[in-house]
A and B are shown apart, each in its own frame.
Chain A
Amino acid sequence: DAKTTQPPSMDCAEGRAANLPCNHSTISGNEYVYWYRQIHSQGPQYIIHGLKNNETNEMASLIITEDRKSSTLILPHATLRDTAVYYCIVRVVEYNAGNMLTFGGGTRLMVKP
């Protein structure tokens, strides 16, 4: 089972920031927080990941609380094309190794004009 809890759905106005919360209160010290999204029935798309520091890339920012029990994905200026299901996943990562992703139900983000 997924080790994360996310709200099932959220709305956001186009052009505004979308803040998607995630609870992972049982996260282990060696687990990273990952965010993926899935637009319609396409393959999940990697967005960002982090261990304990806040992270930012061209798609989004990831804010992880100091106790690592929750995090927030921020899409700074949401567009209609950001409408998707967003998945927060905790995952052990080892270099030169693979570890499966356990998907939960995610948050269905609807960006409205």
Chain B
Amino acid sequence: EPEVTQTPSHQVTQMGQEVILRCVPISNHLYFYWYRQILGQKVEFLVSFYNNEISEKSEIFDDQFSVERPDGSNFTLKIRSTKLEDSAMYFCAIEGVLEAFFGQGTRLTVV
């Protein structure tokens, strides 16, 4: 099973601040995803990223969000101006042969 490392494991930020969540797959993959899970709610798809472009995004993924792969290995999710409702677990996932493998998540707390 491919390994996906997410950093930080927990981030606390003030409302209105920018945050960058990072995902580092151990091996090279072409397809990446970000999902989020608000406490007590379902896991929700945010965006998929293929070949350095967004291939799909959900309604949640508005202009406050952006993704990039700045150095060919890290995959980042940026939230430009955080809101209280952005508090959630954020999961990165990579596509294997026919399966998606998830990281352990970043817990984002906006205060």
Interface residue ranges, A against B (CB under 8 Å): 32, 34, 38, 41-46, 49, 87, 93, 95-105
Contacts and interface: CB of A to CB of B under 8 A. Distances in A.
A98 B100 contact: yes
Instruction: Label chain A's interface by main secondary structure.
Output: loop
Contacts, number: 61
A43 B100 contact: no
Contacts of B32: 98
B50 to A, nearest CB: 6
Interface residues of B, number: 30
Contacts of B58: 100
B85 to A, nearest CB: 18
B31 A97 contact: yes
Nearest to B94: A98
Contacts of B37: 41
